[in-house]
Structure 1
Amino acid sequence: MSGHEQNPAQTSAAEHIAQAAKAAFEASQLIPSSERVKALYEIRKELESSKAEILEANKKDLQAAQAEVDAGRMSASLLKRLDLGKGDKWDAMLQGITDVAELPDPTGVVTYASELDDDLELYRVSCPIGVLLVIFEARPEVVANIAALAIKSGNAAILKGGKESNETAQLLSHAIQTALAKTEIPSSYIQAIQTRAEVSALLALDQYIDLVIPRGSNALVRNIQNNTRIPVMGHADGLCAVYLDQTADTDKAMRIVIDAKVSN
């Protein structure tokens, strides 16, 4: 994702994606919040009906990832994070969509009001940001997580997951767009891209994209910050401190810390 010269075809494709996202965002501004909630329930329903196909795609990602692990090019912990069918991960993903749908509407909330002068009042009101470009790691369920949060908060989103989860991410994105087509929200409100070249091209399109959110390594965040004029909401270092009260159960605390920071 460096600032190298872009392939014109890639730039054109990226611009089409960004334009579609911006148009979808603008078209959604007069849509009531109840329609956004409806969209989230439609997404959950579509994901449920597409479960078999999505998990089959996930198996393909897992098989390809296993070959990478065997060749020493990928860690076993990354492979585990790819498995969407493991334990209750699928059900938790769906429940997360419902949980977001049931949250209070975050838009249109007055967080500050002041009378500056006679007949001159100042209000601070929460509103959507616009078009988000979200870049994240291998966990495929993050596609649904971020889509739900974006829709609930009134933001359009372009999603780029790790290449290890491409097959799964594309089917998750397709299900989300299919669900949106049944609502007043444009299906291009949520889009997924696959390549780093697309990301590089999108980072130049500050006229369409309002915020970049990278979730990943320090190097990823720094690289993006150094190669775009778009505002970046990114951490450079994690917050990994644990504070232990003197009255705490030491054995329990140790188990919690190990479980939080060490992959099984």
Structure 2
Amino acid sequence: MEMWKESQLKQLTFAREIETAYPILLRFAQNIGFNFCAVSLTSTNRNADFKTLRINNYPKELNQLYEKQSYSKIDPVIAHCNHSMLPIVWTEDVFSQTLPLWDDQQKYGLRHGWSQSFHHEATGQCSTLSLVRKNGLLSPLELYEHFGYMFYATSQLSDLFARTLPTVPKKPQHPHLSPRELEVLKLSALGKTAYEIARILSLSERTVNYHVQNVIIKLNVCNKMSAVIAACRYGLLDAPIA
């Protein structure tokens, strides 16, 4: 690996913010013959309240036009990258259903490009890195040589962005209770005695006490009342019996 590539990889590794990582990516893009570099971070979760983040050095007029025409809703590169981590080369065929977007990009010098995405499963975020130039078709060898860096860069972007998201508290993991144990526990919560529960469920009183003891052990409590309280906290008494 060339020394400058290794140096920029290290710089990217030590970057702590997307804003500091982007200049490193832009220098890399320019060093390998590209005029433009774009970074986007989107959510693959349609229900997420998340505004797409875009950083690039595209012409200002093109960015304004992109927003005005709402091209993000029909951009085939975005559609591909949101569903696949395979690289995509910008060609007229790719934009065949969105020729106005293709023509505008060509007009402002974005003629030959490719994009690579990385999906961060833990947060549902998709980071995409695009390198574009004014002249010169992309060769298969060129894609092969730079694929590793592109994939590493997009994964780093995902990690950087994930650190900025608020931590989602994990739901407490509750022990698994059998259907019969839940039945006994729900009746206990209603104030039924072991004798009454035995009559209702057609069990022996000894069997009912056996289930109660198992529940106490599983919920790590000291008595039946504590087991009922713990089960309420876990939401077990609200769940239907399987």
Same fold, judged at TM 0.5 (above): no
TM-score interval w.r.t. the shorter chain? under 0.3
Larger Rg computed on CA atoms: 2
Provide the TM-score with structure 1 as the length reference.
0.22
Instruction: Specify which structure has the bigger relative contact order, considering alpha-carbon pairs within 8 angstroms and separated by 6 or more residues.
Output: 1
Provide the TM-score with structure 2 as the length reference.
0.24
